[in-house]
Amino acid sequence: MKAFGKILGLVVLGLLLIVVAGGFALTHLFDPNDYKDEIRQLARDKAHIELTLNGDIGWSLFPWLGLELHEASIATLNKPTEPFADLQMLGLSVRVLPLLRREVQMSDVRVEGLNLTLSRDENGHGNWEDIGKPLPASTPAASGETAPATPPATPSESKPAAGERPLKLDIDSLTVNNARVQYNDARSGQSFSAESIQLSTEAVHDGVNIPLKLTAFLSSGQPVLRARIELNGEARFDRALRRYQLEDMKLSGELSGEPLQQKSMTFSAQGQLLADLAANVAEWNGLKLSANQLRALGELHVRDLNSEPKLTGGISIAQFDLRKFLDSVGVALPAMNDPSTLTNVELVGRLEGTKTSLALEDLALKLDASTFTGRLAVEDFARQALRIQLKNDKFDADRYLLAKSEAAASASAARQAEVKSNESSALSGPSTSPLPEAPTQVAWSSDKLLPVDRLRALDLQADLSFGMLTLDKLPIRNAELKASGQGGLITLQALRGGLYNGSFDTRGTLDVRPDIPQIGITGKIDRVPVEHFIKHDGDTPPLKGLLTLNSDLTASGNSQKALIDTLNGNASFVINDGVLINANLEQQLCQGIATLNRKTLSGEPRGKDTPFQELKGSLVLRNGVASNPDLKVRIPGLTVNGNGDIDLRVLGMDYRVGVIVEGDKRDMPDPACQVNERFAGLEFPLRCRGPLELGARACRVDQEGVGKLAGQALGNRINEKLNEKLDEKLGDKVSPELKDALKGLFKR
């Protein structure tokens, strides 16, 4: 028995020696480099690729099937001289016996100097699309012989046969050094590249965490962008469950290039990534993002991956200085009225989206001292379909308006100097000083107002409401704005709100389809204090009262000046319970009466106001000039009629005004202008000319008109004397009715 065991042991040992000797002989006596042509032909026939082996092939047989390829490249069969991939070295080893059990157990896999070149031609065809495709069959001979029809191959998922175990992958480590991927698109001119790619992993096993590290330099051609990235994390995959994860993912890097105006942005992203293809879902939990000063937290979930993906999630952006952030990424903001705006921004919202849309629901946006809540959405990326539904507590829009250009500021200063000059003259002696000159300085800016190209492409629906909105220094309560736009036509359905103790309501259209934008506006202002519209930089307004205005206006252009120069339409206005500030019409009337009396006023003009019950009229606007043919002012004891023009282009006025003494015969402030019967019914003429800001302070007695009144006043004096004589002669001898009739004859 011992002899049998000894013999059996010797046999087994002999067999092992034979196997080892055979393996040694096979690996040392058989050189695969002698069969490069056969290997290349096998690659053509089986893999349908053109394999070029410029370097040596190294290999081992047992217990590892080892392979090393040096200086190899791969091309498609239709372009064998244009390789799309080449490498300096590929080294791997596979255990032989596990292969019989459909298990791939590898030692370290190393790839050195991989260079992958992908390209599309002018027809949009990619060079990778022909990988693995055989050459087209040759045309059959003219003899009529035809090749048997071969049904086209249909792509299908590779599934193991019934009862067959799936391939099991087991790699000790994977290392890729100095790899490069290049993509070029001849049709669009775009190019992208990833260079100096370094990838390393620890053991790669199905269903366990695989630590990995990836670094690379990325770049694009149009526009020029460069980025350095580093990725760390633990990958995990389960092919049977079709579940893939990247846990504790940390992506960081730096970005620079033309869009950033050669400035740089450091960025990072962290979180837990999951793709469950069996459930058709993907998730990014514990999301953390940073980009220079910006910091954000959130989570993303995508479902229905295999049909119509739908995105849900949330995002929270911590308070940051948007102005500094934009400057750090090369975005230059235009100068605003308040340079401290956009320094305190914070956002929280819920995300919903599809392949073509993205919405921020339940939005809470803090913008400096304001808070917005509601919804922001782009319903169609291709159409730029923007949807806005926001509510705000208080918002000072003036702070965010564009500051005036140097040219506009210079023009405004010149006009104000002109107004101040006329104002000083008016205050020094409005009754006796010369009539102010008509203004000549343009009152409006030529700066561009509207981004026409953007508005033409805009698809907009906006619904905004404000608890308090400040616009052009006007505090608007409960403001509402509803607007829509599509195809270059923007419609203002409503802009309304409370203004002081009154209200306003405006509607209109903006058409940017023509080369020159066209604007149409209809509006109503109801009992709003007029002084808030006409005061300037804290100066005392020339007029006070409650304004009611109805207007229907059109204009064209893309600057304040162009819009005023083309302003046309109609308007009607009423100002109730008003006051003409620093304008004493009684004094103006007194000057006219003193002239008729051929007397000189004994006192200096008193700068007091003139209250009135009502001021009303209508306006016809033609190219920036408003004609007012029916101005009427009701003042106790006086009636004022006027007609003239308001030149909105220079904010100037030119009026002829008549003041009529009615039943109020109270004593005038100066003996030289005492009112008596002969002045009743006379229309004393005034001329008002100068900057609109002066109001009634720009009015002077019309000396030429007063001269014409002298004859009428003389007639009134004669009638007065005749009436006195009739009273003396007739006494009580005739009835009062007859006496009045006789007096009327003399008046004629």
Residue 176 lies in a domain: yes
Q: What is the DSSP letter of 402?
A: B
**Residues 47-57: pLDDT tens digits?**
788 888 888 87
Secondary structure of 329-340 in HEC code, one letter for each residue: CCCCCCCECCCC
Cα angle: 369, vertex 263, 185; to 5 degrees: 115
The band of 693, judged by pLDDT with boundaries at 50, 70 and 90, is: confident
Q: Give the end of a domain, one of 205, 224, 251.
A: 205
Residue 684 lies in a domain: yes
Q: Which of 526, 494, 496, 524 is nearest to 507 (CA)?
A: 494
**Residues 518-557: pLDDT tens digits?**
999 999 999 999 988 876 655 678 889 999 999 999 999 9
As a whole number of angstroms, the distance between CA 465 and CA 365 comes to 14
Residue 75: pLDDT over 70: yes
As a whole number of angstroms, the distance between CA 695 and CA 581 comes to 8
Q: Which residue has the higher pLDDT, 643 or 693?
A: 643
Cα angle: 157, vertex 163, 166; to 5 degrees: 50
Q: What is the DSSP letter of 132?
A: T
Domain containing 173 equals 33-128+169-205
**Residues 701-719: pLDDT tens digits?**
776 655 565 555 544 554 5
Residue identified by tokens 């633990």 is: 234
Q: Give the end of a domain, one of 184, 205, 226.
A: 205
DSSP string, 165-224: PPPEEEEEEEEEEEEEEEEEETTT--EEEEEEEEEEES-EETTS-EEEEEEEEEEETTTT
Residue 725: pLDDT over 60: no
Give the CA distances from residue 462 to residues 4, 388, 484, 492, in Å, rounded to whole numbers and listed in that order.
Answer: 98, 5, 6, 10
As a whole number of angstroms, the distance between CA 217 and CA 115 comes to 14
DSSP string, 419-448: HHHHHHHHHH-TTTSPPPPPP-S--S--S-
Q: What is the DSSP letter of 126?
A: B
Cβ(390)–Cβ(416) under 8 Å? no
- For the chain, the C-alpha Rg in angstroms (whole number) is 46
Q: What's the pLDDT score for residue 519? A: 97
Residue 585 lies in a domain: yes
Residue 465 lies in a domain: no
Q: Which of 125-134, 197-206, 276-285, 644-653 has the lowest mean pLDDT?
A: 125-134
* Overall number of domains in the chain: 2
Q: Which of 593, 475, 589, 610 is nearest to 542 (CA)?
A: 610
Q: What's the pLDDT score for residue 46? A: 75
Q: What's the pLDDT score for residue 375? A: 96
The band of 592, judged by pLDDT with boundaries at 50, 70 and 90, is: low
Residue 568: pLDDT over 90: yes
**Residues 326-378: pLDDT tens digits?**
999 999 888 899 999 999 999 999 999 999 999 999 999 999 999 999 999 99
Q: What's the pLDDT score for residue 229? A: 96
Residue 1 lies in a domain: no
Q: Which residue has the higher pLDDT, 196 or 138?
A: 196
The band of 669, judged by pLDDT with boundaries at 50, 70 and 90, is: low
Residue identified by tokens 């050094």 is: 177
Q: Which residue has the higher pLDDT, 152 or 204?
A: 204
Residue 569 lies in a domain: yes
The band of 139, judged by pLDDT with boundaries at 50, 70 and 90, is: very low
Q: What's the pLDDT score for residue 358? A: 96
Q: Are strands 625-635 and 610-622 parallel, antiparallel or unpaired?
A: antiparallel
Average pLDDT over residues 496-520: 95
CA 519 centroid distance within chain: 21
Q: Which of 212, 235, 237, 217 is nearest to 227 (CA)?
A: 217
Residue 87: pLDDT over 60: yes
Q: How far apart are the first and last CA of the chain?
A: 168
Phi/psi of residue 724, nearest 5 degrees: -65, -40
As a whole number of angstroms, the distance between CA 438 and CA 444 comes to 17
**Residues 414-452: pLDDT tens digits?**
666 666 666 655 544 445 578 888 888 888 888 888 889
Long-range contacts made by residues 404-407, C-beta under 8 angstroms, separation at least 24? Answer: 404/445, 404/447, 405/445, 405/447, 407/445, 407/446, 407/447
What type of residue is 100?
L
Q: Give the end of a domain, one of 205, 233, 255.
A: 205
Q: What's the pLDDT score for residue 435? A: 83
As a whole number of angstroms, the distance between CA 272 and CA 233 comes to 9
Residue 486 lies in a domain: no
Residue 288 lies in a domain: no
Residues sharing a CB contact under 8 Å with residue 33, sequence separation 6 or more, in sequence order: 56, 57
As a whole number of angstroms, the distance between CA 429 and CA 420 comes to 15
Residue-level length of the chain = 748
